[in-house]
A and B are shown apart, each in its own frame.
Chain A
Amino acid sequence: MWQWFHKLGSPKWFFGIANRLMPWLLAGGLIILAVGVVWGLAFAPKDYLQGNSYRIIFIHVPTAFLAQSVYIMMAVAAVVTLVWRMKLADVFVKAVAPVGLVLTFLALFTGAVWGKPTWGTWWIWDARLTSMLILLFLYGGVIALDRAINDEKSAARAVAVLVLVGVVNIPIIKYSVEWWNTLHQPATLKLTEKPSMSSEMLIPLLLSILGLYLLFGWLACIRMQTEILVREQRTKWVREMVMAGRN
């Protein structure tokens, strides 16, 4: 049972697994995302209230969804870093923090583009928007702290503490649309309830989210591989691999 868990801690083992996974993640992600987005943008029915402008949901919701779940994944990895001192967990945090930052920015940006035709304003200081902005700041802080500490091990643990402290923001984002009376509409997708949108809109939306998840998986793998190569550049297996690649 614990065998795979220990293996997971080995950068070399992960490097091999990632090599095998990445083509699938990339191909699957691109195809599913393309199907979802094209279906959503071109073929899904118009919204009876918002007309065509609602179609940005097929980009806005996946990015916002992933922006939050990337932070949760980072928090889980942070616990692993602090408790088991697993190298890969901290490689993961370091590799995906910039990705999370970009996703959060995209969610805010597409939200602003969507807000202009529907609310008549680019930005409003509403609870959901403000808490997403805080998430953007948190990602920025994590990256800044990581860059500021030279020692790799202390950087990993300090960043882990910061990520865990920032986790308090996640439930605030999630429930901001329910706790406060906000302009932002309530959640489109809920696990516990019947979806509030028709299946012709729902299926492309779910496909876009799944596609973006797979694409994120690919991006995480390639960024982690790069980080591993930098860290393990003095080890034998990296040298052998690089030399083999050169011949």
Chain B
Amino acid sequence: MSADLRPEIKPVSAGVGTFAAMKAVFGRDLKVAFRQKQDLLNPLLFFVMVVSLFPLGVSPEVSFLREAGAGILWVAALLSVLLSLDHLFRHDFDDGSLEQLVLQPQPLFLLVLAKTLAHWMLTGLPLVVLTPVLGVMVHQEGNSIAVLCLTLLIGTPVLSLIGAIGAALTLGLRSAGVLLSLLIIPLYIPVLIFGTGTVAAAADGASVGAYVALMAAFLVLAVTLAPFAAAAALRISLSNG
């Protein structure tokens, strides 16, 4: 990887506000990502391919797909977020910019939050945008698609935030990819259950308010707690070397 592709994190003086530092980290991550567009595209392609496996592999029947479609999309979204997590810290770890990030005077957990937000903008959000198209392909009805998009919109940031903890813990380990999945999938299961539960309730014509509120509670919990755990894990992984 040539050096000019990855602008270095400039040392920010202590006088710079925390918010400005978060914005700088966020902007840098977006810039780096857009200079390597293939990396942006890969999780989306993976998402589409996994979804298309189910009609081909299980059954193309409309009744089956209507029943299982929301679950298929959720599982595929979960897997593609999982796949993209490796990128969250890996490159910065390899070229040393992560150490610079840890040395910044601003609180590390807020910088991690900014990084995770950038990660979500680059993976989770495009998945949500793609969902209506794939929803039609697995024969979901209009109302279900709307609810599905809503649950993914609330759920994918939770996936990114929890995933950040796993990515930080497995940084620099051998076979980190498989290990990351082992650590993170158990924690993803509740989000998946409530995400698909919301869509199922909507398909039955029940009110989804309570489900959506619960998912929002997951998000609030993840935003407030996960960055602390991820920041602690980053410090541990960096002291490992």
List the A side residues contacting B229 at CB < 8 Å: 161, 164-165
Q: Is A169 an interface residue (CB 8 A)?
A: yes
Stretch at the interface among A47-55, A108-116, A151-159, A210-218: A151-159
Whether the pair B189, A134 counts as a contact (CB closer than 8 A) is: yes
A157 to B232, CA, bound (A): 9
Q: Is B237 an interface residue (CB 8 A)?
A: yes
Restricting to B183-241, which residues have a CB under 8 Å from any CB of A? Answer: 183, 185-187, 189-190, 193, 229, 232-233, 236-237, 239-240
- Max chain B CB contacts within 10 Å: which of A158, A164, A166? A158
A82 to B235, CA, bound (A): 12
User: Hey, what's the 0/1 contact readout for B22-50 against A, CB within 8 Å counting as 1?
Assistant: 00000000000000000000000000000
Q: Given that A134-B189, A149-B240, A154-B236 are known contacts, is A162 also in contact with B173, CB under 8 Å in the complex? A: no
Restricting to A121-154, which residues have a CB under 8 Å from any CB of B? Answer: 130, 134, 137-138, 140-141, 144-145, 148-149, 151, 153-154
List the A side residues contacting B240 at CB < 8 Å: 149, 151, 154
Whether the pair B190, A172 counts as a contact (CB closer than 8 A) is: yes
Q: Which residue of B lies closest to A153 (CB)?
A: B239
Residue in A137, A145, A153, A157 whose CB lies within 8 Å of B186: A137
A137 to B165, CA, bound (A): 17
Q: Which residue of A lies closest to B186 (CB)?
A: A137
Whether the pair B182, A140 counts as a contact (CB closer than 8 A) is: yes
Whether the pair A144, B183 counts as a contact (CB closer than 8 A) is: yes
Q: Which residue of A lies closest to B225 (CB)?
A: A165
Q: Is B170 an interface residue (CB 8 A)?
A: yes
A165 to B169, CA, bound (A): 12
Whether the pair A145, B187 counts as a contact (CB closer than 8 A) is: no
Q: Given that A130-B189, A162-B169 are known contacts, is A157 also in contact with B182, CB under 8 Å in the complex? A: no
Q: Given that A144-B179, A148-B179 are known contacts, is A161 also in contact with B186, CB under 8 Å in the complex? A: no
- Max chain A CB contacts within 10 Å: which of B186, B187, B240? B186
Whether the pair B186, A169 counts as a contact (CB closer than 8 A) is: yes
A130 to B186, CA, bound (A): 10
Whether the pair B187, A166 counts as a contact (CB closer than 8 A) is: yes
Residue in B175, B182, B232 whose CB lies within 8 Å of A161: B232
Residue in B179, B189, B232, B239 whose CB lies within 8 Å of A145: B179
List the B side residues contacting A151 at CB < 8 Å: 240
Whether the pair A141, B186 counts as a contact (CB closer than 8 A) is: yes
Whether the pair B236, A145 counts as a contact (CB closer than 8 A) is: no
List the B side residues contacting A134 at CB < 8 Å: 186, 189-190
Q: Which residue of A lies closest to B189 (CB)?
A: A134
Restricting to A203-226, which residues have a CB under 8 Å from any CB of B? Answer: none
Residue in A140, A148, A157 whose CB lies within 8 Å of B170: A148
Q: Which residue of A lies closest to B239 (CB)?
A: A154
Whether the pair A158, B189 counts as a contact (CB closer than 8 A) is: no
A141 to B166, CA, bound (A): 11
A148 to B182, CA, bound (A): 12
Min CB distance B221 to A, Å, is 8
A7 to B237, CA, bound (A): 29
A157 to B187, CA, bound (A): 19
List the B side residues contacting A157 at CB < 8 Å: 232, 236
Min CB distance B214 to A, Å, is 11
List the A side residues contacting B174 at CB < 8 Å: 148
A149 to B233, CA, bound (A): 13
A-B contact pairs, 23 of them (CB 8 A): A134-B186, A137-B182, A137-B185, A137-B186, A141-B182, A141-B183, A144-B179, A144-B183, A145-B183, A148-B173, A148-B174, A148-B175, A148-B179, A154-B236, A154-B239, A154-B240, A157-B232, A161-B233, A162-B165, A162-B169, A165-B162, A165-B165, A165-B229
Binding site for B on A (CB under 8 A): 82, 130, 134, 137-138, 140-141, 144-145, 148-149, 151, 153-154, 157-158, 161-162, 164-166, 168-169, 172
Binding site for A on B (CB under 8 A): 162, 165, 169-170, 173-175, 179, 182-183, 185-187, 189-190, 193, 229, 232-233, 236-237, 239-240
Nearest 4 Cβ contacts at the A-B interface: A137-B186, A154-B240, A141-B183, A157-B236
